[in-house]
Amino acid sequence: MKELQSPNAILRRFEPVIRYTRGERFFPVAVETYIKHCSLWVQRPDEPAELLVPQGELTLEELTRPRNHGFGAVYFLKLIEPPDLIELAKYSLNKAVKTLSNQDGDDEDVFRPGRGRLARVGYMSRLIDALFSFSLLLRGRVPGDTAAAAAVEYQRMREDDDRFCYYGRVVRENGWVVVQYWFFYPFNNWRSGFFGVNDHEGDWEMVTVYCSEQEDGSLTPEWVAYSSHEYSGDDLRRRWDDPEVEKVVDEHGCEHPVIYAGAGSHASYFSAGEYLTELQLTFLSPVTRILDGIRSFWVKKLGFAGPEDVRSHVFCVPFVDYARGDGVSIGPGQSREWTPQVVDTQTDWAVNYRGLWGLYARDPVAGENAPAGPVYRRDGSVRRSWYDPLGWAGLDKLPPSCEVPDLVSERISHMRTELSSLEAEIREKSVQLQHLGLETAALQGEFHLESAYHATVAEINALSSELGELRRRHSETTAKLKTLERYRENYHPWDSAFMRSHIRHPHQPSSDVDLRLAWLAEIFAAVNVGLMMIAVVLLAVFARQYLVVGLAAMVGLILLVEASFRRQLFRLINSFATGLAVVSALILIFEFFWEIVVALVFAAALYITWENIREIRS
């Protein structure tokens, strides 16, 4: 067991298998190889970017050299210099030929999109999506040919270094042994390659295995957490024995978790599938909050039918993250194996370079800017997953299972002590209260002691309420103590009842929407936003007087057709009728405000009278 204690051995023991989607272009590389193909730049506010170290001259030592370019300076790497057009054309041609010659789809290099995200979501989301895509023209973005150029550059990197690397870190904290695996991808081509949210140079992803350490030094994996976009907290982690955590057994009989990586985004998922990811539009959040408030009032306060989850998804841009796992697999027992590299607080490039690991596109939404390294966020502050790996996955409140019985006993012992002290205090105050009670009985009616009598009564009231609070705490602590004792008796580290109780919003692969005439629905979803915009322009130019009516008619028609495709026609009709009922109710309130007030007062008067008469009769 001794050799298990070295970080390298621990990393090897639990290293994951990553399954990619067909068509994935970029796989984890060694940072030193990547650096060799990059230049280093600094961007100061309101100035053009300045080249610090040209491509070919950058090393890890050079990267971490102390630099100071003042407040607001952003250091960043640049992988893609102006691309070689001939090489780019050659690459694109090769890719096209490969795609065309693999119509049967058995090549792990060729991506075939399934039913697109547009057909999976509602009309409003698609309209927002169209506006989001349009905003890319105004925001900073990674140029269109960069992904192809990055793929060419990546091929060169592979020629220099064909290893698939991860950067592993082993941390001991609160009784846990935290094993982190960081993966660095030269490029994220989610937008240009897989119809996703963004493209950016450099991409860091992370997986963590949480182990308990036994007395003999062996490690038992208990939890595993995968980084996925901006998610954090309890929802990220799964218990090791959760059926959702797929595992591969190596030749030594050791289990390794399986990750399904999102195509282009490299986000990590527990199960293979196509995940619908929503991008929240922050500028629309006030509208979303109002809608959520109305829906919450409608469902929770008024008790009308509606979804329990009242969060509004209307103003979110939907994207599909394809994590099919039908492409390349890297890891133990696969055709491609990992090369581990240990990273810790002494690793120079990780700790001393706070800049971005790719192009700074000056995107205010930040989606197109490269990320910082494993230790830092884009603004130079330390990532929570680095300084608090337990809290990042919501595990800071849980001890390793082997420590649970002792900790519960300790807590029970604390509670018993607390109960004893409460009981003593209650006894003391009860006697004190009785004394005061006797005193007031004696003082009653004695005119010369009236003020003393009132002071004692006030003291009695205060003491009585204090005693009441102490008794409440005693009762609550007794109940908690019993529950804890029962928990200790019945505790089993792998009790399936608690396996998934911490998960609030599990991120599951989206199911195929039950579409009628799916191919037609797909085409309709793809074209209707554009068609409607063209129709608006035509109406505005040729028949402006019918613009509002025409627009309402078009939207109504589209909604009807779409609801029909989705088999949600009656949901639409109900929403429509409810909306009209609200408008009608407002009209009635507007027209008959005083009559309504009078009627309500009259009804209240009748009700009160009736209740009182009933009381007299009974």
Phi-psi region of 368 (alpha: psi -120 to 50; beta: other; left: phi over 0): alpha
Q: Which is nearer to other proteins, 85 or 588 (CB)?
A: 588
Does position 573 bind other proteins by CB under 8 A?
Answer: yes
Which of 592, 602, 607, 610 binds other proteins (CB under 8 A)? It is 592
DSSP-derived 3-state class of residue 395: coil
List of residues 6+ apart from 520 with CB closer than 8 A: 565
Q: Which is nearer to other proteins, 244 or 255 (CB)?
A: 244
Does position 547 bind other proteins by CB under 8 A?
Answer: no
Q: Which is nearer to other proteins, 125 or 180 (CB)?
A: 125
Burial class for 549, CB neighbours closer than 10 Å (0-12, 13-18, 19+): exposed
Which of 218, 421, 584, 612 binds other proteins (CB under 8 A)? It is 584
Instruction: Give the C-alpha separation, 283 to 364, whole Å.
Output: 13
Stretch binding other proteins (CB under 8 A), from 165-173, 201-209, 344-352, 565-573? 565-573
Please report how close the Cβ of residue 357 comes to other proteins at its closest, in angstroms.
Answer: 31
Which of 580, 597, 605, 613 binds other proteins (CB under 8 A)? It is 580
Please report how close the Cβ of residue 384 comes to other proteins at its closest, in angstroms.
Answer: 26
Q: Which is nearer to other proteins, 89 or 586 (CB)?
A: 586
Does position 414 bind other proteins by CB under 8 A?
Answer: no
Burial 162-179 (b: 16+ CB within 10 A, else e): eebbbbbbbbeeeebbbb
Stretch binding other proteins (CB under 8 A), from 224-232, 332-340, 479-487, 570-578? 570-578
Does position 125 bind other proteins by CB under 8 A?
Answer: yes
Query: How would you write 58-108 as a 3-class SS string?
Result: CCHHHHCCCCCCCCCCEEEEECCCCCCHHHHHHHHHHHHHHHHCCCCCCCC
- Strands 39-43 and 50-53, by their bridges, are antiparallel
List of residues 6+ apart from 141 with CB closer than 8 A: 199, 361, 363, 368
Please report how close the Cβ of residue 302 comes to other proteins at its closest, in angstroms.
Answer: 9
- Strands 247-249 and 255-261, by their bridges, are antiparallel
Burial 288-315 (b: 16+ CB within 10 A, else e): beebeeebeebbeeeeeeeeeebebbeb
Please report how close the Cβ of residue 128 comes to other proteins at its closest, in angstroms.
Answer: 12
Please report how close the Cβ of residue 593 comes to other proteins at its closest, in angstroms.
Answer: 13
Stretch binding other proteins (CB under 8 A), from 27-35, 352-360, 372-380, 562-570? 562-570
Stretch binding other proteins (CB under 8 A), from 54-62, 248-256, 297-305, 330-338? 297-305
Between residue 483 and residue 542, which ones bind other proteins under the rule CB under 8 A? 505, 508, 510-511, 513
Does position 308 bind other proteins by CB under 8 A?
Answer: yes
Does position 585 bind other proteins by CB under 8 A?
Answer: yes
Please report how close the Cβ of residue 513 comes to other proteins at its closest, in angstroms.
Answer: 6
Token pair 């008619």 is at which residue? Answer: 553
Stretch binding other proteins (CB under 8 A), from 75-83, 371-379, 430-438, 561-569? 561-569
Does position 306 bind other proteins by CB under 8 A?
Answer: yes
Does position 599 bind other proteins by CB under 8 A?
Answer: no
Stretch binding other proteins (CB under 8 A), from 60-68, 394-402, 491-499, 576-584? 576-584
DSSP-derived 3-state class of residue 444: coil
Please report how close the Cβ of residue 191 comes to other proteins at its closest, in angstroms.
Answer: 19
Tokens read off for 113: 């999109």
Please report how close the Cβ of residue 313 comes to other proteins at its closest, in angstroms.
Answer: 5
Q: Which is nearer to other proteins, 15 or 129 (CB)?
A: 129
Does position 196 bind other proteins by CB under 8 A?
Answer: no
Please report how close the Cβ of residue 547 comes to other proteins at its closest, in angstroms.
Answer: 18
Does position 115 bind other proteins by CB under 8 A?
Answer: no
CA nearest to 16, candidates 174, 164, 159:
164
DSSP-derived 3-state class of residue 222: strand
Stretch binding other proteins (CB under 8 A), from 51-59, 164-172, 241-249, 304-312? 304-312
Stretch binding other proteins (CB under 8 A), from 220-228, 259-267, 311-319, 520-528? 311-319
Does position 118 bind other proteins by CB under 8 A?
Answer: no
Q: What is the DSSP string of 533-589?
A: HHHHHHHHHH-GGGHHHHHHHHHHHHHHHHHHHTT-HHHHHHHHHHHHHHHHHHHHH
Number of residues that bind other proteins (CB under 8 A): 40
Q: Which is nearer to other proteins, 438 or 585 (CB)?
A: 585
Alpha helices by DSSP H, listed for 398-517, are 404-443, 450-490
Does position 292 bind other proteins by CB under 8 A?
Answer: no
Does position 548 bind other proteins by CB under 8 A?
Answer: no
CA nearest to 12, candidates 162, 164, 168:
168
Between residue 249 and residue 288, which ones bind other proteins under the rule CB under 8 A? 276, 278
Instruction: Give the C-alpha separation, 208 to 182, whole Å.
Output: 9
List of residues 6+ apart from 64 with CB closer than 8 A: 348, 349, 352, 353
Contact present, 60 and 349 (Cβ < 8 Å): yes
Tokens read off for 194: 């897989």
Q: Which is nearer to other proteins, 462 or 582 (CB)?
A: 582
Question: What residue ranges bind other proteins (CB under 8 A)?
Answer: 120-121, 125, 276, 278, 303-309, 311, 313, 316, 318, 505, 508, 510-511, 513, 566-568, 570-571, 573-574, 576-578, 580-581, 583-585, 587-588, 591-592
